[in-house]
Structure 1
Amino acid sequence: MELNKIEKLLEKYFAAATTIEEEKELKDYFSSSNVAPTLDQYKPIFVYAVQAKQEQFIAPITLKNNKRSKIVWLSIAASVAVLLGLVLLTFNQYNELESQDLGTIDDPNIAFRETQKALNMISEHVNKGIGSVKYINEYEQTKNKIFK
């Protein structure tokens, strides 16, 4: 009767349908000395699992203090120092810009003339850009004529 039960458990095991208790039962059976000769071929599978569970690594582990880890930490520290320097430099320049007088004009007539100069300069650049767009339109029209 037990042989039939073990054979059914083996079928379930190879179909990946066994529970943990059933697998433990198989391990216990194949670890014992009274394994049926017809099932001897399966013994190494289950005996190995039991033996592997009992193995322990007992060799001492030595940690090496190699130069590579020091170089890595040194490069990380240097990167942090550079980033910190850049942040401080940028912050310092930002504060200097805030403290400078950036062209505030108290006289309304002078402010009006300066504003007119700035707007005329912008107008000239915009007109140049519009002129370039005209050339692009001509190019598009010519291209459409050729490729139609």
Structure 2
Amino acid sequence: MALNNIEQLLEKYDNAETTLAEEAQIRAYFEQEDVPAHLESYKKLFQYVSHTKQEQFTKDVPLQPKRTIVYRWISVAAVAVLMLGAYFQVNQMNQKITLDDLSHEQLMAYNQTMEVFNLVSSKLNQGTENLEALNLVSSKLNEGAENLNHLNEFNKATNKIIKNK
């Protein structure tokens, strides 16, 4: 086969435009011993492809993956630990502690905390009363804006009547 023809087929091969028959011609050409030096890389490529076509996988492929029983027991143990932890946490939360059970320091801290909460509550209530006054002002402003809209509509109507006469 002519060298020029092979180079054209190789260019088509590189662009993935060859047919199966043309690829067979290229393979047949590179099976020869005498190949130009600038095409030696292609010869090695096609030798590799023909060699790998003949290879076969001979190992057995297991159909079911091997699973050890240890992982199952680890997951069972993890679930058991989580369940016990949740049980003890809920059990501890259900125990009622009365003021009589507290020590003197704990009772003092409880009383101080309650005083702080009462102070914060009273300040929040005062702020709420101030907000009620602002709500009243806001509602009156909204009423004034509505009245102003009515006056604007009345003004437009009277201007139309005056222009028609």
TM-score by length of 1: 0.41
Higher relative CO (Cα under 8 Å, sequence separation at least 6) belongs to 1
TM-score by length of 2: 0.37
